[in-house]
Amino acid sequence: MACCRRFRMSDDNLSAARRTSLTKHLGRITALAGLLISLALVWREHPGTVFGLMREAGVGLVLAGLVHVLPMLANARDWQTLIRGTRRPRFTQMLRLVWIRESVNSMLPVARVGGEIVSFRILRRWGVKSSVAVASLVVDMQLTVISQLMFTMVGIGFLFAHAQSGTLRLASDLAWGVVVLAPLLVLFAMVQHASPFERITRMLNRVTSGKLAAMTGESAQIDRGIKHIWRQRATVLRYLFFWQTLQCIATSLEIWIALYFLHAPVSFAEAVVIESLIQAVSSAAFFVPGGLGVQEGGFILIGGALGLDPATCLALAGARRIRDLLVFIPGLIAWQFAESAPEARARAWSRVSRRNDPDRQVTGS
């Protein structure tokens, strides 16, 4: 029996390794395909023209990229309000966590969820209870999707109000996307009130003959934590209508500054429309690392609907890539430090303990 159990465990580990390998390969394939699409779009609009615009903009694109710190500040604060308990991290810790989460989700082939997994691990190291950490992450994702849907509808409304033939067609396509997503979002919200984590764990516990009994209680705590956050109406409303609005304004400021230095100034309202719709396109293409290719095509479609020429749209997409290099590459380095620091402390503590262990000293002598 023990032998059979070992074989079964090895088979499970093998299948898990295969799934992980498949996910990595799919991420690499989509990233390569996206890169080829990006290069093809730039080549079609003449690389010299696109890079010439970016060269003329110069340090202005660096400034636009660094402005991304502002929405990160708002995100750190709104996420912090969702974490209850005495071990709630400080604002500076939350800012570092937002930085790492965005960097992982934007730069690695993790389908926009790897950042949440990394964030959970770090929150646990900071002493936040598992149920509290998961509940804050789930509600943060839910509220972010709701706010993105709201701002997408605002952007679509703007396109309809300033409709030309091509603009109207794009707005219509985006509106249909919202129509499809809205019922799914409502269904997702309803499911959260049916204690999904506890139900799923109970089912798995029955399948595994009671081996997950301890996890059932933890899952019930997660469900209660999610419900508790949703019952805090003031916190939820501030998140949606104050903090998320600040984030949208701050990320739109990136677009506005970049276009100003690209000598294609637009109104701030148009910058908000571009940002809100690009966010929707990038979220829909969550399986493509960094939205490669998809984001460039989105800028051409949305910017073109607002009267921007394709070369300027691609230069704007290039400005977004500069932001990724300036902000998210250092974020990945910060993540590595965050992951290695506890291990280094543990090794140092182990060495100190061995050195001070009287039994070991007696044995050695």
> What pLDDT, on a 0 to 100 scale, did the predictor assign at position 192?
58
CA distances for 187 relative to 181, 184, 194, 195, 252, angstroms: 10, 5, 11, 13, 30
Angle formed by the axes of helices 329-356 and 91-107, to 10°? 120
Q: What angle do CA 178, 183, 188 make, to 5 degrees?
A: 115
Query: What is the rounded distance in angstroms from the CA atom of residue 151 to the CA atom of residue 344?
Result: 44
Q: Which of 10, 63, 110 is nearest to 253 (CA)?
A: 63
DSSP letter at 88 equals P
Query: What is the rounded distance in angstroms from the CA atom of residue 37 to the CA atom of residue 317?
Result: 13
Q: pLDDT tens-digit profile of 197-237? A: 545 555 544 444 444 444 445 677 888 888 888 889 999 99
Q: pLDDT tens-digit profile of 85-103? A: 778 999 999 999 999 999 9
Assess contact for 205 and 215: CB atoms under 8 A.
Answer: yes
> What pLDDT, on a 0 to 100 scale, did the predictor assign at position 343?
57
Q: b/e string for 172-190 if b means 16 or more Cβ within 10 A?
A: eebbeebeebeeeeeeeee
Query: What is the rounded distance in angstroms from the CA atom of residue 7 to the CA atom of residue 47?
Result: 56
Q: Break the chain into its structural domains and give their ranges.
A: 45-340
Q: What angle do CA 189, 191, 195 make, to 5 degrees?
A: 120
Largest CA distance in the chain: 89
Regions of the chain short of the pLDDT cut 50: 2, 5-14, 16, 198, 204-216, 346, 348-349, 352-353, 360, 362-365
Angle formed by the axes of helices 59-66 and 244-261, to 10°? 180
| Cut 0.75: pTM above it | yes
Location of structure tokens 């799934």: 19
